[in-house]
Amino acid sequence: MNAWLSQHRAALASAFRRLWTTPLNTLLSLLVIGIALTLPGFGYVLLDNLRDLGRSASGVQQISLFLQNDASKKDIGDIESRLKQAANAQWRFVPKEEALKRLQTNEGMAEIVASLPRNPLPDAFIIEPANSEPAALEILRQEIAAWPKVAHVQLDSAWVKRFDAFLKLGKLALSMLAGIFAAGLVAVTFNTIRLQVMAQAAEIEVARMIGATDAFIRRPFYYFGALQGAFGGLLAALLVIGALRLLGGPVGDLAALYGGSFGLHSPGAGAILLLTGSGAFLGWLGAQLSVSLSLRKFD
Amino acid sequence: MIVANQLSKRYPDGREAIREASFAISAGQMALITGHSGAGKTTLVKLLASIERPSAGSLLVNGQNIAALRRSAIPYLRRNFGLVFQDQKLLGDRNALDNVLLPLQIVGLPRREAIRRARAALDKVGLLSRERAMPIALSGGEQQRLAIARAVVNRPTILLADEPTGNLDAESAGEIRAIFSAFHQVGVTVVVATHDQNWIEHHPHVLRLDHGRLIA
């Protein structure tokens, strides 16, 4: 166990030394990897922010339930009971009188409303379900529509569906982009390691002749690939955070112009760890492929 | 103990470098392998160190048949050997101490203990004062002594050398011969491929090869 740990320590130290002793190569490789991971990383954070924007936009996840004009107080009570049972949601009852008053406050509507022989508006419930997924909203809408004394159930599902489809498309495009850049990262590491194996051919040959196992020879290259990828991932996270900080102010100003308040949120520790871990894994994968191919000539 | 029985080696190009060689080298013995250029000396050393695999016959080292060894077991077998090459195969970008440390890193010895043992090995070959020197700064004889220090640092049971005095002047060759004799005297089995007549003439145990065949 001590020997195993000692060998891993030595391989890790060797990988750090290689990164340190070729600063320009290291910097260029880290920049390539960092930029390759920044684009999907930034896209992911941007989609996450958009998803939050969609969730917070008023009306998006609201269902309006309009009762029939002859609905009694008992019927309203029944609907409330059903809502308690059926929906994990918040709701608010809007009596027809309140709705009419609101209508009257709208510019130019006061005279029209005053001329009406009776209040034409129905009692209504405004429901805000906890689950704002379009499919879940549609199921709830259909269920509510079948309740007695319900005249009409309105869900702005087209908007929600469009927004959801946009997010899904964004996710797919992002996955494709991430796949392409991941392949690029693997290729960069593959080439770096291939050049290293070539430069250390004499050392590898001697090490093999004096009893080095395959694992001993491969280990420093694996550590190098993983470290390079991890540092590249970390750099990508820093670039994403920096870009969000720069964009945060203008986005907030833009939201204020539309009468809202919206701020871009930076990736959390989990996302930074994911980016760093992905970089490390892809770097290790590139090293694994490169070492397996490059070492064949020593067999 | 090394025992070869009907040992043959044919290379992929059809050249038969060793033909049905049978011999035995006892533990602690010092044997020289000699013969003209292309007689098969280097191939025999490579077979012993399992750098090459036999085409036929058996080769037992400490009771293990090298010919039947799995590929994954070969590195562990090689750790029983100390290998010295005519061209030394030193690592040019590492100093003397780091060259000698390599076999100890391979077996995973803790660094402090590895440095202690590497310095002891350098001391044995008279190079302790040159531990920081790069190989290029050493003379031919010193480079060969450094290669010997690297070969013995893991305390191998068998020391194998291929023409260790081949490129050296008479004085340096004499020093190298003396170092091999010293290891032999402390019980290490020593097998040396050489055409150094000064060595062969005064040695009782010589294996002579002629076109791959053992003739004495």
Q: What confidence score (pLDDT) does residue A57 get? A: 60
Same domain, yes or no, for A172 and A256?
Answer: yes
Same domain, yes or no, for A45 and A89?
Answer: no
CB contact under 8 A, B108 and A208: no
Q: Whole-angstrom Cα distance, residue A108 to residue A126?
A: 25
Same domain, yes or no, for A248 and A271?
Answer: yes
CB contact set of A42 (below 8 Å; sequence gap of 6+)? A239, A240, A243
Interface test with chain A among B105, B115, B152, by most A beta carbons within 10 Å: B105
Same domain, yes or no, for A26 and A171?
Answer: yes
Same domain, yes or no, for A272 and A175?
Answer: yes
CB contact under 8 A, A209 and B49: yes
What pLDDT, in 10s, does the model give residues B147-175? 999 999 999 999 999 999 988 888 889 99
Query: Which of A3, A206, A209 lies nearest to residue B107, judging by beta carbons?
Result: A3
Taking 50 as the pLDDT cut, the residues of chain A under it are none
Closest CA to A99 of A64, A139, A75: A64
Same domain, yes or no, for A150 and A171?
Answer: no
Same domain, yes or no, for A188 and A228?
Answer: yes
Query: Which of B92, B106, B154 lies nearest to residue A207, judging by beta carbons?
Result: B106
CB contact under 8 A, B102 and A210: yes
Q: Whole-angstrom Cα distance, residue A154 to residue A58?
A: 15
Q: Looking at the 3D structure of chain A, how many domains does it have?
A: 2
Q: Looking at A112, A133, A155, which one is the last position of a domain?
A: A155
Query: Which of A4, A202, A213 lies nearest to residue B75, judging by beta carbons?
Result: A213
Q: Is A13 on the interface with B (CB under 8 A)?
A: no
Q: What confidence score (pLDDT) does residue B21 get? A: 93
Q: What confidence score (pLDDT) does residue A157 get? A: 62
Q: Is A4 on the interface with B (CB under 8 A)?
A: yes
Please provide the DSSP assignment of chain A as one string. Answer: -HHHHHHHHHHHHHHHHHHHH-HHHHHHHHHHHHHHHHHHHHHHHHHHHHHHHHHHSTTTT-EEEEE-TT--HHHHHHHHHHHHHH-SEEEEEE-HHHHHHHHHHSTTTHHHHHH-SS--PPPEEEEEES---HHHHHHHHHHHHTSTTEEEEEE-HHHHHHHHHHHHHHHHHHHHHHHHHHHHHHHHHHHHHHHHHHHTHHHHHHHHHTT--HHHHHHHHHHHHHHHHHHHHHHHHHHHHHHHHHHHHHHHHHHHHTT----PPPP-HHHHHHHHHHHHHHHHHHHHHHHHHHGGGG-
Query: Which of A7, A10, A202 lies nearest to residue B91, judging by beta carbons?
Result: A202
Same domain, yes or no, for A170 and A241?
Answer: yes
Q: Looking at A131, A155, A179, which one is the last position of a domain?
A: A155
Q: Looking at A155, A172, A206, which one is the last position of a domain?
A: A155
CA A116 and chain centroid, separation? 51
Expressed as residue numbers, the domain containing A187 is 2-56+162-298
CB contact under 8 A, B103 and A202: no
Q: Cα dihedral angle (B196, B97, B116, B123), rounded to 10 degrees?
A: 40
Same domain, yes or no, for A175 and A237?
Answer: yes
Taking 70 as the pLDDT cut, the residues of chain B under it are 216
Q: What confidence score (pLDDT) does residue A85 get? A: 81
Same domain, yes or no, for A174 and A269?
Answer: yes
All residues of chain A having their beta carbon less than 8 Å from the beta carbon of residue B149 are: none
Same domain, yes or no, for A45 and A171?
Answer: yes
All residues of chain A having their beta carbon less than 8 Å from the beta carbon of residue B154 are: 210-211
Q: What confidence score (pLDDT) does residue A219 get? A: 94
CATH number at residue A92: 3.30.70.3040
Q: What confidence score (pLDDT) does residue A55 get? A: 64
Residues 167-206 of A with CB under 8 A from B: 202-203, 205-206
Same domain, yes or no, for A137 and A278?
Answer: no
Mean pLDDT across chain A: 86
